[in-house]
């Protein structure tokens, strides 16, 4: 039997992983600038957390979660997390973070799991970077999150980004809109898909984001929630838009951006990028969820956040991406046991000075070691054989210039650390090192 990976689960191999690392470190830099702190939550949670936060009758809960009974006496149902928000909200309440300081800006990154129908670009283990802000009800934080993402796209050189925004109102104004929407959709019921026919009864707002063409056609003509917002919600939304007025291209209003659950309110948004991905070009999505923490039994704090898909982002960035800049590689070629010992300890000394060093493990011909050094992209190869050991001199070959020089063993470390090591920090006087 040949062992293979599970359908919908993917390896990120060297060659691709560099792009992932670049995304992660750019995100960490941008989050730090906005004073976000990282939070790490478990991959596995009690299933109930997700059924309560995402709603029993959603596709994720009904069909897509990896759920199984634990081996405890009660056979507790556990699920691999299908998204990050619920776990972060739980951790915020359980860790009593609100008692110390209710306003928290948190971010997370890691794998999420949904057993979706396999299709191109849709994995069952996928990765998200997400942010959640607790304790802020003002529109400034909504705008801050959107500008944080804009900064991230710039940091990554992500092409063709555009922001779509909407407001879905609040418990005061949404019911009025809902009635108007239902009346409109009733009139065109025959044109809706079977799913939307059901949604019309229990979750009519979800009809607005149905991906089917027939429903999308109906929905374009549907009344917009933006003309049914109460005064507070309108002011909130207008302030967000005003804070984003320097954004280019300008944000697009999209009244089809909705969330199906009651605790979502006001701002919802999606960032899209790249012309190539078509309908799948959403790279980040989020919104405000003021009632979620309380609905999970936590403190009554407001929340707003987003999640972005790392796979999709990596796909948009991967072409010609060299990843984070890394130090040039030094390769140590040796011949004979004595030279092997000598280069082994040299490698260790150089690495401790911050250099990137590799060397052969087994006795190979110089020719094959040089070939390997070339394959690895080594900038410099240091060559030591029995002759060099006798003379106390090493050969240092610059691979690009194809030049070779002789260096005394006594000066080898210095001659390599100087040009290839990390830049020296100027030392302040009186500093203890």
Decide whether 104 or 199 has the Cβ nearer to Zn ion.
Answer: 199
Contact assessment for residue 326 and residue 35, using Cβ atoms and an 8 Å cutoff: no
Closest distance of CB 173 from Zn ion, Å:
4
Tokens matching residue 94 = 């359980």
Decide whether 202 or 368 has the Cβ nearer to Zn ion.
Answer: 202
H-run or E-run covering 52: helix 47-54
Closest distance of CB 167 from Zn ion, Å:
8
Contact assessment for residue 18 and residue 377, using Cβ atoms and an 8 Å cutoff: no
Closest distance of CB 221 from Zn ion, Å:
15
Decide whether 193 or 222 has the Cβ nearer to Zn ion.
Answer: 193
Decide whether 171 or 376 has the Cβ nearer to Zn ion.
Answer: 171
For residue 137, CA distances in Å to 102, 385, 419 come to 12, 70, 53
Closest distance of CB 206 from Zn ion, Å:
9
Tokens matching residue 416 = 């390599």
Decide whether 98 or 228 has the Cβ nearer to Zn ion.
Answer: 228
The helix/strand count (H/E) of the chain reads as 16, 16
Closest distance of CB 244 from Zn ion, Å:
20
How far is it, in rounded angstroms, from Cα 334 to Cα 350? 16
Beta bridge partners of 269: 165, 286
Closest distance of CB 170 from Zn ion, Å:
3
Instruction: List contacts with Zn ion (CB under 5 A).
Output: 169-170, 172-173, 193, 196, 210, 212, 215, 230, 233
Closest distance of CB 182 from Zn ion, Å:
15
Decide whether 170 or 304 has the Cβ nearer to Zn ion.
Answer: 170
Closest distance of CB 197 from Zn ion, Å:
8
* Residue (of 188, 224, 27, 16) closest to 107 by Cα position: 27
DSSP assignment, residue 147? H
Contact assessment for residue 269 and residue 286, using Cβ atoms and an 8 Å cutoff: yes
CB atoms within 10 A of CB 122: 15
3-state secondary structure of 176: helix
Closest distance of CB 243 from Zn ion, Å:
19
Hunting for tokens 């060299």 — which residue is that?
322
How far is it, in rounded angstroms, from Cα 277 to Cα 61? 27
CB atoms within 10 A of CB 140: 11
Decide whether 185 or 296 has the Cβ nearer to Zn ion.
Answer: 185
Decide whether 212 or 349 has the Cβ nearer to Zn ion.
Answer: 212
Decide whether 210 or 370 has the Cβ nearer to Zn ion.
Answer: 210
Tokens matching residue 347 = 């490698």
DSSP string, 300-357: ---EEEEEEEHHHHHHHH-TT---S--PPEEEEEE-SHHHHHHHHHHHHHHHHTT-EE
């Amino acid at each position: 039997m040949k062992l293979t990976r599970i359908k919908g689960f993917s390896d990120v191999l060297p060659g691709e992983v560099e792009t992932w690392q670049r995304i992660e470190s750019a995100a960490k830099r941008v989050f730090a600038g906005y004073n976000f702190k990282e939070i790490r939550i478990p991959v596995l949670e009690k299933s109930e957390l997700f059924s309560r936060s995402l709603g029993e009758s959603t596709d994720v809960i009904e069909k897509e979660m990896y759920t199984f009974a634990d081996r405890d006496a009660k056979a507790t149902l556990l699920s691999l997390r299908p998204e990050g928000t619920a776990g972060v909200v739980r951790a915020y309440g359980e860790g009593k973070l609100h008692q110390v300081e209710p306003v928290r800006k948190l971010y997370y990154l890691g794998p999420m799991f949904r057993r979706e129908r396999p299709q191109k670009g849709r994995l069952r283990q996928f990765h998200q970077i997400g942010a959640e802000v607790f304790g802020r009800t003002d529109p400034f934080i909504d705008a801050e999150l959107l500008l944080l993402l804009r900064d991230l796209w710039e940091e990554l050189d992500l092409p063709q980004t555009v922001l779509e925004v909407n407001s879905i109102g609040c418990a005061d104004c949404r019911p009025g809109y809902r009635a108007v929407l239902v009346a409109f959709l009733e009139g065109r019921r025959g044109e809706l898909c079977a799913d939307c026919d059901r949604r019309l009864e229990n979750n009519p707002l979800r009809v607005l984001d149905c991906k089917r063409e027939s429903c999308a056609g109906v929905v374009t003509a549907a009344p917009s929630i933006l003309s049914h917002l109460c005064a507070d919600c309108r002011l909130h939304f207008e302030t967000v838009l005003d804070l984003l007025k320097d954004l280019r291209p300008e944000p697009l209003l999209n009244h089809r951006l909705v969330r199906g659950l009651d605790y979502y309110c006001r701002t919802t948004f999606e960032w899209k990028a790249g012309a190539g991905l078509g309908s799948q070009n959403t790279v980040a999505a989020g919104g405000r969820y003021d009632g979620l923490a309380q609905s999970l039994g936590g403190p009554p704090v407001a929340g707003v956040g987003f999640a972005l898909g790392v796979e999709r982002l990596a796909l948009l960035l991967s072409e010609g991406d060299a990843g984070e800049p890394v130090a040039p590689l030094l390769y140590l070629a040796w011949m004979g046991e004595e030279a092997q010992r000598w280069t082994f300890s040299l490698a260790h000394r150089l690495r401790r000075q911050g250099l990137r060093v590799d060397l052969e493990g087994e006795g190979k011909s110089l020719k094959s070691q040089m070939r390997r050094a070339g394959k690895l992209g080594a900038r410099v190869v240091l060559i030591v054989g029995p002759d060099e050991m006798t003379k106390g001199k090493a050969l240092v070959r610059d691979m690009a210039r194809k030049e070779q020089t002789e260096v005394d063993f006594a000066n080898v470390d210095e001659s390599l650390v100087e040009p290839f090591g990390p830049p020296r920090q100027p030392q302040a006087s009186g500093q203890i090192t």
